[in-house]
């Protein structure tokens, strides 16, 4: 048991300090919302289903001096569900290295930009909940996507130009995370039991915490996998819009699962050595104050009702962790064997 705990500490803690201090792109160090504006044909971009096809445009990024840098970029839609069911598709932004020199984006050639699903104000509220999911992951593991909020002025030129003012957030490219840990992104399918035990349980409990079942490490659905030295394979979680934490009106539950609402928690992790699971449980409990403080720091972005609901939702997760019987039923006995 002692040996396992030492190994876990080596994975979760020593790497954490390293990742926080080195090789973090400058754009993600400053957490003040960026001001972005650009235009494109939403209809044309959503219509294209080929991932290699990008559409050229310019993006204006407000700089520290108060003026804006105009940067050429190419964009494409990403994802399937939101591309087909939402007004705004999530986007991938691609830049040439030289074009971002001496701008806020320096050192980045690719971003994901997450936008609201619909034009209604409630779309911004949902975006903020999804963004909060990314921030809640940060104290739990060094292996996460850096994010930054943005105030986006998006002009749709599909017909008569119309500008939408929306909230969004940027997500760093997975290659940068792999480089930070001297690893590489792997694309082939792998069995979840080939993932590093501790990192997998951290990810599985996080998905349980936010009540997300719309992911799979084996087929890498809403999960990237990076391979580190010693053949350690680490999952990277993203895309939380179907999670109970967000509770989007379009979110649905896979009919093969034993839950009927996205706000019901269901543990989707594979069974692991119980001593590792208990270690990760204890680490989560230590981080409860930090997670609640992150929620408090974002209070201004939510209505009083939403803020109260978020705190209760995450609090309910910690109630399960603090109760041996409930934890055993949900996690120890609820883990997957196939």
pLDDT of 129 higher than 80: yes
pLDDT digits (tens, 9 = 90+) for 270-303: 999 999 999 999 999 999 999 999 999 999 999 9
Mean pLDDT over the full length of the chain: 92
Give 42's contacts (C-beta < 8 A, 6+ positions apart): 87, 88, 89, 156, 158
Residue 15 parent element (H or E): helix 15-21
> Which tokens is 118 given?
């619909």
Q: Find where tokens 């996205």 sit.
A: 262
pLDDT tier at 264, thresholds 50, 70, 90: very high
Please return the burial class of 28, using the count of CB atoms within 10 Å of its CB with bins 0-12, 13-18 and 19+: middle
What pLDDT was estimated at residue 42?
Answer: 96
pTM for this structure?
Answer: 0.93
Q: What is the mean pLDDT of residues 117-136?
A: 94
Q: What is the mean pLDDT of residues 104-127?
A: 93
pLDDT digits (tens, 9 = 90+) for 199-253: 999 999 999 999 999 999 878 899 999 999 999 999 999 999 999 999 999 999 9
Max intra-chain CA distance, the chain: 66
- 38 conformational bin, left if phi > 0, alpha if psi -120 to 50, beta if neither: beta
DSSP-based three-state secondary structure for 201 = helix
Percentage above 90 pLDDT, the chain? 82
What pLDDT was estimated at residue 303?
Answer: 96
Domain residue spans in the chain?
Answer: 2-23+182-332, 27-175
């Amino acid at each position: 048991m002692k040996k396992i705990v030492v190994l876990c500490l080596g994975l979760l803690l020593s790497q954490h300090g390293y990742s926080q201090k080195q090789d973090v792109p400058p754009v993600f160090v400053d957490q003040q919302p960026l001001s972005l504006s650009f235009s494109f044909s939403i209809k044309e971009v959503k219509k294209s289903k080929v991932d290699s096809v990008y559409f050229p445009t310019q993006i204006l990024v407000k700089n520290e001096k108060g003026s804006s840098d105009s940067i050429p970029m190419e964009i494409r839609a990403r994802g399937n569900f939101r591309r087909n069911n939402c007004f705004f598709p999530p986007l991938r932004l691609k830049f040439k290295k030289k074009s971002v020199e001496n701008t806020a984006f320096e050192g980045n050639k690719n971003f994901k930009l997450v936008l609201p699903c619909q034009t209604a104000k409630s779309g911004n509220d949902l975006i903020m909940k999804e963004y909060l999911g990314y921030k809640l992951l940060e104290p739990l593991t060094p292996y996460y996507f850096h994010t930054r909020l943005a105030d986006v002025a998006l002009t749709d030129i599909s017909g008569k130009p119309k500008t939408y003012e929306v909230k969004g957030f940027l997500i760093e490219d997975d290659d940068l995370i792999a480089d930070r840990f001297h690893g590489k992104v792997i694309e082939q399918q792998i069995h979840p039991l080939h993932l590093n035990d501790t990192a997998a349980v951290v990810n599985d409990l996080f998905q349980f915490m936010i009540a997300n079942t719309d992911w799979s490490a084996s087929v890498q659905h809403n999960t990237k996998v990076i391979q580190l030295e010693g053949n350690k394979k680490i999952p990277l979680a993203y895309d939380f819009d179907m999670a109970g934490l967000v509770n989007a009106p379009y979110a649905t539950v896979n009919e093969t699962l034993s839950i009927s609402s996205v706000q019901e928690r269901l543990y989707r992790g594979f069974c692991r050595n119980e001593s590792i699971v208990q270690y990760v449980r204890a680490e989560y409990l230590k981080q409860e104050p930090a997670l609640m403080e992150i929620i408090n720091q974002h209070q201004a972005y939510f209505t009083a009702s939403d803020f109260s609901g978020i705190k209760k939702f995450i609090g309910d997760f910690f109630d399960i962790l603090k109760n041996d019987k409930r934890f055993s039923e949900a996690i120890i006995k609820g883990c997957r064997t196939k």
